[in-house]
Structure 1
Amino acid sequence: MLILAGTLGGAGLSSCSSEQSAEENTETTAATEQQQSMDIKQEAFGKTAEGQEASLYTLTNANGMQVQISDYGATITSVLVPDREGEMGDVVLGFDSLAGYFSPEYTKSGPYFGAIVGRYGNRIAKGRFTLNGEEYKLATNNGENHLHGGNKGFDKVMWQAEPVPGENALRLTYVSPDGEEGYPGTLTSTVTYTLTDDNEIKIDYEATTDKATPVNLTNHSYFNLAAGEAEDALGHVVTLNADRYTVVDESLIPTGELRKVEGTVMDFREPQTIGARVNQVEGGGYDHNYVLSDKDGEMKKAATVYEPTSGRVMEVFTTEPGIQFYSGNFLDGTITGSGNKVYKKHYGFALETQHFPDSPNQTSFPSTTLEPGQKYESSTVYKFSTREENQQ
């Protein structure tokens, strides 16, 4: 196991000049800050199908909260947070080793546990879009549609990982060549995971391109705040700060209508358990984009989730204009994950911050086109806390 920690400078001598002492004090302070910020463990996680060595990085904060991230897919594999009694539990779905992400059961259903999906998170209708007068054809890996970047999206590639100096953070970079999965332009994407002492996982996305291309990056973690102490996530209480959602057709492609949630089973403006109306949702559960804003770029509170038995609370903040609420409808009990947990239907849920699905074909939606000379920037925060049983 390798500790990625830096130590700079050394003890000063009493005979040094004041100038030398000042320099050494500066070096010592910098060394201390870097040591504190770079206490990130790195260990082997397994090999990819191509024989590449993958690593697992562990970030730990002052409260003992831990986040584990692999450079394969820039994937969050584990998040340990306390319940109301202070007991730690893993609140995301994942695997103890890389082999789980290559198992037949996982590759068949493709749930994207904890990975960064891209270039385009969510669906593009019929795998086609036109940009600057040219039509581009993508893989149709979700029925007749394109989903989460194609057959080999950003979730299935190796990212270059490095600790961020001065922070409890890991930066991962991937360069997607022109034409990869049918997308135009060479796209350089950077995702930085920061674990704060306020029990926040902050995810910052950046990207640049040398040719106009659609970009919509997100993290696809599935959460279960009961940490395996419940059969499913249907008892989680969800609040979504959205009064509209994007109506979809039978293949989950937006029709273009932004419909009010008022008076429907889509309304989570007031706290509701996931299971209260899930059986009334066409398609077997929630898999819908909620409209947070008419424009992107402003940090706002998108969602709050409370799990009553553990007392755990998760708040979601984002600069994105939308959030996909998915209730784990396609989990079917064929996948066994970390701690030998069987992931049955509705075992976990996802809250994916994003631009709207099929935006490259929907001119009324916020644009996802990144031009040369521009920088794609997006931030999302998942904040964890606890609530007492009688606390509202």
Structure 2
Amino acid sequence: MINSQINVSCQPWGEHFGCPVYLFRIENTSGAYVELTNYGATLVSVVVPDAQNNFENVVLGYSSLAAYIADECYLGATIGRFANRIAGARFTLDNIDYHLDANDGASSNHGGGNGFNSRVFGYSITDNCLLFTLQSDDNDGGFPGKLNLTVAYSWSENNELNISYRATTDKKTVANFTNHAYFNLSAKGVGIFDHSIKVYADALLDVDAAYVPTGLIKPAGNKALTGENLRDKMVADGDRASGFNDCFVLKNDSDNNLKTAAILAEKASGRTLTVLTTYPAIIVYTGDYLDCTPPGNFLRPYKPFDGLCLECQYYPDSPNHAHFPSTVLSPGDGYNETIVYKFGVVR
């Protein structure tokens, strides 16, 4: 028992390359809880009530470590060293060209083929907070600098999941961390089409066919999300729907104070999710390419549109666009960003 309100427990969950892996639970007095693992500093489950006080898991996940190791969709994982794509798997910093691990066509995506999602983190428990730590060596995935990252998860009595990222480096580098949770507030194994979503953004990044930013920041136009059901915003693409995989530029980003990025709701359950962040952008990804081999929470492999990602982060490909917010991290400076997922109900 860490304090009178929040209980943190831990159980062995297996090994990965000889490193012990654990499953942690942080539970509040209402019985709502989150589960996490030090494999990938991953969010495994979020169990919260609906409007009738039924407690159910609202993120996509697996029941075993083996399934997470086999997963290729980044379910709930910490993403690093650099979230999303870097074009051509290269960037230049202080006139030095750095060549990265290309794992998404010609691009480096989510840190390359051996990103932080597949690493075993160290851990410690402080107050009601679970800290995951990782040292990433110089030239890891092609990125310069020895980087030390701490990912802190805390869970409140008000069903707020706070994720903070703190990092330092011994050499000038670039960094961009996020969490890749897939949310489904219905918790019933049905798709996300009847979720409504509001995103606090009027603009988004223009991208090419490979989802690489062109450098243009354009009005959101008909992709603006102002509280509609996702079903009404998706576009027919042959015999299937085409959803969102877009980087929205958040409003009110004059400083790094927490701001509301998005509100997600699901009418049948009454559940809501409010996303707050210090980051300048949020990726809305409707899981168009979800194709998981291991069976998940729905006792079947996950398929497209089973879950929705709301990934707060810096802009993709920032190192190659001088007018994007800088992702440069220098020795002596600290990376310090926060994401809050606040769960509620409408009765």
TM-score under structure 1 normalisation? 0.85
- Residue 39 of structure 2: SS of its match in structure 1? coil
Unaligned runs of 5+ in 2: none
The counterpart of 1:219, out of the listed 169, 179, 184, is 179
Secondary structure of the structure 2 residue equivalent to 1:155: helix
Which structure has more relative contact order (CA 8 Å, sep 6+)? It is 2
Residues 280/363 of structure 1: CA separation in 2 closer, same or farther (3 Å cut):
farther
Determine what percentage of the aligned residue pairs are the same residue: 38
SS of residue paired to 1:239: strand
Counterpart CA distance in 2 for 1:209 and 1:116 is 18
Structure-1 separation of matches of 2:43 and 2:149: 17
Aligned to 1:372, which of 331, 334, 347? 331
Q: 1:292 aligns with which of 222, 236, 250?
A: 250
SS of equivalent residue, structure 1 residue 99: helix
State the Cα deviation string for residues 29-58 of structure 1 (Å, max 9, x = none): xxxxx443673111011222x132200110
Matching residue within 61, 69, 72 for 2:39: 72
Task: Give the Cα–Cα distance (whole angstroms) in 2 for the partners of residues 337 and 326 of structure 1.
Answer: 19
1:347 to 306, 311, 325: 306
Map of 1:23 onto structure 2:
none
Q: Aligned residue for 1:329?
A: 288
Choose from 138, 143, 154 the match for 1:194.
154
Which digits, 9 at most, give the CA deviation of each residue in 1:149-192, with x for residues without a partner?
11111111111111113xx2101110101111111000000010
Number of the residue aligned with 1:173: 133
Shift of 1:219: 0.5
SS at match of 2:132: strand
- Check 1:102–1:333 CA distance in 2 against 1; reply closer, same or farther (3 A cut): closer
Using the TM superposition, give the Cα deviation of residue 280 of structure 1 relative to its aligned residue in structure 2, in angstroms.
5.0
CA distance in 1, matches of 2:26, 2:74: 21
Aligned to 1:39: 7
What's 1:153 paired with?
115
Q: How does 1:252-271 map to 2 (within 5 A)?
A: 252-262=211-221, 264=222, 266-268=223-225, 270-271=226-227
Alpha-carbon distance in structure 1 between the residues aligned to 2:89 and 2:310: 24
| 8 Å contact kept, 2:248–2:281 | yes
Displacement of 1:357 in angstroms is 0.4
1:296, 1:76 → 2: CA distance? 28
Partner secondary structure for residue 126 of structure 1:
helix
Instruction: Output the amino acid matched with 1:55.
Output: Y
Matched residues in 2 for 1:295 and 1:38: separation? 34
Question: What do residues 76-100 of structure 1 show as CA deviations (whole Å, max 9, x unaligned)?
Answer: 0011000000000000011111010
Q: Does 1:276 align with 2:232?
A: yes
Give 2:334's aligned amino acid.
K
When Rg is computed on C-alpha atoms for both structures, the one with the higher figure is 1
Q: What CA deviation, in whole Å up to 9, does each residue of 1:88-121 have, x standing for no partner?
A: 0000011111010123xx3xxx210001000100
Asked if the contact 1:334–1:344 (Cα under 8 Å) also holds between the matched residues in 2, the reply is no
Q: Given residue 121 of structure 2, which amino acid in structure 1 is its aligned partner?
A: W
Shift of 1:281: 7.8
Q: Aligned to 1:55, which of 7, 12, 22?
A: 22
Q: Which amino acid aligns with 2:73?
A: P
Distance 1:218 1:157 in 2: 15
**Is the alpha carbon distance of 1:346 and 1:122 closer, same or farther for their aligned partners in structure 2, counting shifts above 3 Å?**
same
1:239: how far off?
0.4
Q: Which one is further off, 189-198 or 331-340? A: 331-340
Matches within 5 A, 1:103-122: 103=70, 106=71, 110-122=72-84
Structure 2 CA distance for aligned equivalents of residues 332 and 57 of structure 1: 26
Does the 8 Å contact 1:41/1:58 carry over to 2? yes
1:88 to 55, 59, 63: 55
Structure 1 residue aligned with 2:320: 361
Is this contact kept in 2: 1:237–1:307, CA < 8 A? yes
The number of residues matched between the two structures is: 344
The 2-side partners of 1:261 and 1:353 are apart by: 17
Q: Do the aligned partners of residues 285 and 335 (structure 1) sit closer, same or farther apart at CA in structure 2, a change above 3 Å counting?
A: farther
Using the alignment, how far apart are the partners of 2:103 and 2:286 within structure 1? 21
Match of 1:317?
276
Provide the C-alpha distance between the structure 2 equivalents of 1:250 and 1:316, rounded to a whole number of angstroms.
Answer: 28
Cα drift, residue 230 of structure 1: 4.4
More helix by share: 1
